[in-house]
Amino acid sequence: MTMRTEQLSISRRGFLRTLGFATAAGLIQACSPAAPAPTAPATAKPSGTSAAPQPTAAQAAPTVAAANPAAQPTTAAVATAVPVSASAPQQAPAAGKPGGTLVAGWDSDPGALDNNVDRGAVTRTLLHMVYDRLVERDISLKADFPPFSPGLAMSWDISPDAKVYTFKLRPGVKFQDGTPCDAEAIKFNIDRNWDPNHPFYSKTGAGANALGYKDLDKVEVVDSSTVRVTHKSPFADFLNVLAFGTYSIGSPTQIQKVGNDEFGNQPIGSGPFKFVSRESGVKLVFERNPDYWGGAPPLDGFIIRPLPEAVARLTALETGEVDWVNSVHPDSIDRVRANPNLTIDLAQLPNTWGYIPNHRADPTSNVKVRQALNWAVNREALCKDLMRGLAVPSTSPFAPTGTFGYDPDIKGYGYDPAKAKALLAEAGFGDGLKLHFQIPQGAVGSPFAVEMNQYLQQNFKDVGIDVNIETLEAQIMQTNLSKGMPPDVHAYSVGFSVDEMVNLQRQFRSDLVPPNGNTNPGWIENADLDALLKQALQTPNEDQRKKIYFQVQQQAVDMAAWVWVCHQKGARAWSKKVQGFVNPNSYMFTFKTVTMG
């Protein structure tokens, strides 16, 4: 390209004038109302609707018992009553007037609302509001642990070998597009996630729901309100799995109309709220489902506003830009408590945070070293000083509240540096030892993983264990989990959601070590544990199964399978205008009881 002298065809002033006009035009265009975002299709109003009364806490649990009087086992099937938590769940507080729109600030932007794909806890919470499942954990109640309740299935029979489940469906339920939610619809949804020959088979759904569906033998429509599901081998925990968000039931008509790829953007379920529209990064809009079988929710609807930064989220709540936030940073807890216009509540989340030691490599293959690591951790101080009450000490796999599986009789670990040193000496490390831990930066396990590890590093140092911490990006950490620990890594810092005892299967079974699974990367291979876990899967009786899992937990604690540190809490806060919100001990929550005062 050469430079030469010539007369300009456009003057400088002309150019600047044009540039100014173009910029102004661009800004004006940006200010004009945006083109409407893709909305959910208009739903046909079903005729002859009747609003069923919303079940109260007193009604939810006995419903199945009424359908299966006295829960008498038969020779062919075991009619199962709904287990409830030991303490009586509290009903939602007194509500204000119906109507109004709740604006909620969330710490991340939810993903597409596919009913069978897991895009994280934030998205799964919305699945709980747009869709229903065959069985539910009732998150509209404040209880130690969200109690089991009927969902689309009012009752069920389980065969004595825990292979065959027969579900009796709730009559008259319709999807938000007016089509019936019957046995055919249930079969469609299940088949879609396990039968490769199904025209709408989803490999992603099959992968995400393999725990519940991989071992299916057949799914039968007995009649329009009865579905029978048969497994190839005993699966006593099937109901617990079905209550999970990705086992939601979507409208087959809508799936057939828009296809698998698009269904997450135009979701149709049978839940209390309907999806309306999304502006990516700006808002998601939901409106009331007036024909919801459990009674139309009082709110007109709600709007999710993604607010990833903690200070901005709290500021939005304090200034009234949003009415509710799903997460408050520990450093801001006191500030929110001091604000008379706000309410804050801590939910015990069903998670366990700690370390998975390397059971194959020295020195953590030595049980005394693992036990020493457990005794070295000052859990109380960590929960009080660093986490400001946003965690409770963990001495065993399950939290005291929020999880169905906590055994108060389990003898776990406390804080005893002297005992830790003695155990290390017995193991031949009286002069101390060096270990290498890998930890995630955020997301996997805890948003505060780095700070917690730095705190614990000092605890370990106090007993002579010099821990070198290697911090990894969240997805790299997840990749490492799937590969398992190499010999030069002695522990992974992890946090798992452990709300059901069935999670113990994944944590401690030797056939699920990598590359077969991600949840036993520490190579825990113990024949006694395997036998107990296998026995649990084959025990349909809830009480008996629980006892087996208690044995699993005690054995895991005795062999120091993990270094348990804490169970975290979730701080949710809202304006005093928001009434009727129940903060359940769960990652999930619902707005179906909320009113705006």
Partner 1 sequence: MRAYILGRLASAIPVLFGVSIVIFLLMKLIPGDAAQVLAGPSATRDEVELIREDLGLNEPLYIQYGRWLARAMHGDLGRSIELRAPVTTMVIERFKNTAILAVTSMLLSIVLGVSAGVISAARPLSAFDRLAMIGDLFGNSMPTFWLGLVLILTLSLGLGWFPSNGMSDIRGNGGPFDLLSHLALPAITLAGVSSAVIARVTRSSMLEVVGREYVTTARAKGLSERRLIWGHALKNAILPVVTVIGVQMGYLLGGSILVETVFSWPGLGLQLYRAISSRDLPLVQGGVMLVSVVFVFLNLAVDLLYAILDPRVRYS
Q: What part of residues 484-513 is at the interface with partner 1 (CB under 8 A)?
A: 494, 496, 503, 506, 512
Residue 89 — φ and ψ, nearest 5°? -70, 150
| Residue 211 makes contact with partner 1 by CB under 8 A | yes
User: Which of 67, 88, 361, 443 lies at the binding interface for partner 1 (CB under 8 A)?
Assistant: 443
Minimum CB distance to partner 1, residue 473 (Å): 8
Residue placing its CB nearer to partner 1 in the complex, 506 or 546 = 506
| Residue 114 makes contact with partner 1 by CB under 8 A | yes
Contact 273, 288 (CB under 8 A): yes
Residue placing its CB nearer to partner 1 in the complex, 107 or 451 = 107
Contact 87, 140 (CB under 8 A): no
Question: Would you list the DSSP string of 420-469?
Answer: HHHHHHHTT-TT-EEEEEEEEESSSS-TTHHHHHHHHHHHHHHTTEEEEE
User: Which of 89, 212, 234, 264 lies at the binding interface for partner 1 (CB under 8 A)?
Assistant: 264
Contact 81, 255 (CB under 8 A): no
Q: Which helix (H) or strand (E) holds 471?
A: strand 465-473
Minimum CB distance to partner 1, residue 261 (Å): 6
Q: What number of other Cβ atoms are within 10 A of residue 59's Cβ? A: 12
Helix orientation angle between 417-426 and 367-376, rounded to the nearest 10 degrees:
160
Residue placing its CB nearer to partner 1 in the complex, 314 or 344 = 314
Residue placing its CB nearer to partner 1 in the complex, 100 or 272 = 100
Residue placing its CB nearer to partner 1 in the complex, 143 or 594 = 594
| Residue 46 makes contact with partner 1 by CB under 8 A | no
| Residue 132 makes contact with partner 1 by CB under 8 A | no
User: Which of 80, 119, 228, 580 lies at the binding interface for partner 1 (CB under 8 A)?
Assistant: 119
Site string for partner 1, 371-410 (x = CB under 8 A): ----------------------------------------
| Residue 575 makes contact with partner 1 by CB under 8 A | no
Tokens of 199: 């025209």
Minimum CB distance to partner 1, residue 225 (Å): 32
Residue placing its CB nearer to partner 1 in the complex, 124 or 421 = 124
d(CA 37, CA 490): 50
Residue placing its CB nearer to partner 1 in the complex, 109 or 407 = 109
Contact 472, 439 (CB under 8 A): yes
40 contacts: CB under 8 Å, gap ≥ 6: 266, 267, 268, 274, 275, 276, 277
Contact 155, 68 (CB under 8 A): yes
* Angstrom distances, CA of residue 479 to CA of 298, 373, 514, 519: 44, 25, 11, 11
Size of the site for partner 1 (CB under 8 A): 84
d(CA 288, CA 578): 16
Tokens of 87: 């303490």
C-alpha count within 13 angstroms, C-beta hemisphere, residue 15:
5
Place of tokens 């990652």: 587
Minimum CB distance to partner 1, residue 512 (Å): 7
| Residue 514 makes contact with partner 1 by CB under 8 A | yes
Residue placing its CB nearer to partner 1 in the complex, 156 or 353 = 353
Please, which residues bridge with residue 283 across strands? 279
Site for partner 1 in 19-38 (CB under 8 A): 23, 26-28, 30-31, 33-34
User: Which of 253, 265, 538, 541 lies at the binding interface for partner 1 (CB under 8 A)?
Assistant: 265
d(CA 145, CA 138): 9
| Residue 339 makes contact with partner 1 by CB under 8 A | no
Minimum CB distance to partner 1, residue 153 (Å): 24
Minimum CB distance to partner 1, residue 250 (Å): 14
Site for partner 1 in 544-573 (CB under 8 A): none
User: Which of 161, 195, 215, 262 lies at the binding interface for partner 1 (CB under 8 A)?
Assistant: 262
Helix (H, G, I), strand (E, B) or coil at 7: coil
| Residue 444 makes contact with partner 1 by CB under 8 A | yes
Residue type for 301, please?
A: G
Place of tokens 């699993």: 552
User: Which of 395, 480, 539, 568 lies at the binding interface for partner 1 (CB under 8 A)?
Assistant: 480
Residue placing its CB nearer to partner 1 in the complex, 303 or 391 = 303
Residue placing its CB nearer to partner 1 in the complex, 82 or 317 = 317
* Angstrom distances, CA of residue 131 to CA of 190, 249, 383, 571: 14, 6, 36, 25
| Residue 99 makes contact with partner 1 by CB under 8 A | no
Span from 8-16, 88-96, 388-396, 528-536 in contact with partner 1 (CB under 8 A): 8-16
| Residue 261 makes contact with partner 1 by CB under 8 A | yes
Residue placing its CB nearer to partner 1 in the complex, 75 or 319 = 319
Minimum CB distance to partner 1, residue 275 (Å): 13
Closest alpha carbon to 400 in 470, 476, 348: 348
Contact 589, 125 (CB under 8 A): yes
Site for partner 1 in 267-326 (CB under 8 A): 279-283, 303, 305-309, 311-313, 315-316, 318-319, 321-322
Minimum CB distance to partner 1, residue 515 (Å): 5
Give residue 143's Cα distance to chain centre.
17
d(CA 60, CA 79): 17
Span from 152-160, 205-213, 358-366, 376-384 in contact with partner 1 (CB under 8 A): 205-213
Site for partner 1 in 134-193 (CB under 8 A): none
Burial class from Cβ neighbours inside 10 Å (0-12, 13-18, 19+) for residue 435 reads: buried
